[in-house]
Amino acid sequence: MHAGYDYLLSPGRLKRNKAFYLSISSCLVGIILVVCGCLYYLLAWFNTPISEEFSVAIQDPISNSRVSSSQSVQTTIMNLNKPDISAAPPKIPGSAIPEQSIGYGELSQLSTRPDSDSYEPISYKMNRLLEGFQPLDISQAQPVGSLKNPNRLIVPAIGINAPVHELRILDKGTTRKYESPNNIVGHIPESANPGEAGSSWFFAHMESPIIGEGSLFFNLPLISSLLSKGENIHIIAENDLEQHLYLVTSTEIIREADMKLYNAGWASIHLVTCVPRLAYDHRLIVTGELIGLKNKH
């Protein structure tokens, strides 16, 4: 028995045991990785968007009716300024509102609010952001290159209020591409600035779980369903001096390989993010047209 125990503890036997357990461990790790990979692609396949669900256009975009565009803009701005919001509504106690009833764009945890005891209805906040704009026909847009760079982008209906920075072009040796927007909304500097007679292009992540570059456009896909319900969605792009108001006219989804920047020929804005979750092999493009202007000072 003693000799047998010595055999089990012999260096050769221990090495063989170690190799055996290492091989088993490697196989288990490999199996786990394969299963995880299969689950990832399976979930990505189920999340692949259907173009019809994300591609929506309003019935009468302003640019399709040049003759009556001024009247359309006037009507839209008048409707925005119509509600009497000179006095703030009574604040609703946060404790009286279940978390699931908080609208899109509201923080899900009341404790993270500046005033955690109460909050203002999101509809009131939206009206406050949209009041005071003067009608601006797209034919009144300024020449490209004449206005200041944007520094903030706001989409009140879905809670987007984020800083904007110009994206740099990175030289990769054989290729050149724009840097990835890191916790910002990135503006393509070669595109028009807001308020100019051209297309302004903005990019941000819907989510960035691995590299941690933010999720500022997480709610952007909601615009498609809101448009299909007939709701008006507005985008505010501002610089140091003024704010420019756009009305969303369409959303579309295209494959990553088909993504190209273009100039629509009039004052338009385009917000872009990667979809769907897990796959990110398509691009959602939200397009709007210039309808208003407000000076900040």
Q: What is the pLDDT of residues 90-135, one digit of tens each?
A: 555 545 545 444 444 444 333 444 444 455 666 777 788 889 999 9
Tokens of 116: 């955690």
- CA–CA gap between residue 2 and residue 109 (Å, rounded): 67
Could you give the C-alpha distances from 194 to 80, 142, 146, 167, in angstroms and in order?
20, 9, 10, 15
Q: Could you tell me if 130 and 157 are in contact, meaning their C-beta atoms sit under 8 angstroms apart?
A: no
Tokens of 245: 């108001």
- CA–CA gap between residue 40 and residue 283 (Å, rounded): 19
Lowest mean pLDDT, pick from 32-41, 234-243, 279-288: 32-41
pLDDT of residue 103: 44
pLDDT in tens, 112-124: 444 444 556 667 7
Helix (H) or strand (E) holding 202: strand 199-203
Lowest mean pLDDT, pick from 10-14, 106-110, 264-268, 280-284: 106-110
Could you give the C-alpha distances from 184 to 142, 146, 151, in angstroms and in order?
26, 24, 10
